[in-house]
Amino acid sequence: MDEYTRFVDWDKMDVTVQSQDAKELTCTEFQELKQLARQGYWAKNHSLRAKVYHKLISNIPCRTVTPDANVYRDIVVKIVGKRNSSSLPLPEFVDNSLVPTYCLNAEGIGAVRKIILCVANQFPDISFCPALPSVTALLLHYSKDEAECFEQVCRILACNDPSKRLIDQTFLAFESSCMTFGDLVNKYCQAAHKLMVAVSEDVLEVYSDWQRWLFGELPMVYVARVFDVFLVEGYKVLYRVALALLKFFHKVRAGQPMESDSVQQDIRAFVRDIAKSVSPERLLEKAFAIRLFSRKEIQLLQMANEKALQQKGITVKQKSNPKLVLLLNYCFSMFCIVFFRQNVHLAVHAENFKSEIVSVKEMRDIWSWIPERFALCQPLLLFTTLEHGCSLSRFYSHSEGHEPTLLLIKTTAKEVCGAYLSTDWSERRRGGNKLSFFGTGECFVFRLQPEVERYEWVIIKHPELATTGSEPENHASPASSTLSSSSVPSDPSDRLSPFLSARHFNLPSKTASMFMAGSSECIIIGGGDGQALYLDADLNHGRTSHCNTFNNQPLCSESFQISVLEVWGFRD
C-alpha–C-alpha distance, residues 465 and 504, integer Å: 10
Contacts of 473 (CB under 8 A, 6+ apart): 509
In one-letter notation, the amino acid at residue 180 is T
From the list 107, 169, 91, 178, the residue with the least C-alpha distance to 140 is: 107
Any idea how long the chain is?
Answer: 572
- pLDDT, averaged per 10 consecutive residues of the chain (572 residues), comes to 85 68 71 90 91 94 92 94 81 83 94 95 93 96 96 96 87 92 91 86 87 95 96 94 96 76 91 95 95 81 85 56 44 41 53 88 89 85 96 96 96 96 91 82 91 88 59 36 41 42 47 84 93 96 95 96 96 80
pLDDT of amino acid 9: 92
Query: Which residues 6+ apart lie within 8 Å of 25 measured at CB?
Result: 36, 41, 42, 48, 51, 52, 55
Distances (CA, A) of 24 to 44, 49, 52, 540: 12, 10, 9, 71
Beta-bridge partner residues of 565:
409
Sign of CA dihedral 155, 161, 166, 171: positive
Question: What is the H or E stretch that residue 199 is in?
Answer: helix 190-199
Q: Which domains does the chain have, with CATH numbers?
A: 1-167 (no CATH), 170-347 (1.10.472.80), 360-459+512-571 (no CATH)
Question: What DSSP character marks residue 330?
Answer: H
Closest by Cα among 39, 36, 17 to 27: 36
pLDDT of amino acid 488: 40
Q: Are 151 and 168 in contact (CB under 8 A)?
A: no
Q: How far apart are CA 327 and CA 320, in angstroms?
A: 13
Q: What is the DSSP string of 234-280?
A: -THHHHHHHHHHHHHHHHHHTTSPPSSS-HHHHHHHHHHTGGGT--H
Question: Residue 450: which residues within 8 A CB-CB, separation 6 or more?
Answer: 415
Whole-number Å distance between alpha carbons of 284 and 282: 5
How far apart are alpha carbons 160 and 486 in whole angstroms?
A: 35
* Residue 493 DSSP one-character state: G
Name 46's bridge partners: none
String of DSSP letters for 16-42:
HHHHSPP-------HHHHHHHHHHTTT
Maximum Cα interatomic distance, the chain, rounded to a whole number of Å: 81
Residue 467 is predicted with a pLDDT of 54
Distance, CA of 431 to CA of 510 (rounded, Å):
15
Inter-residue contact 409 to 386 (CB < 8 Å): no
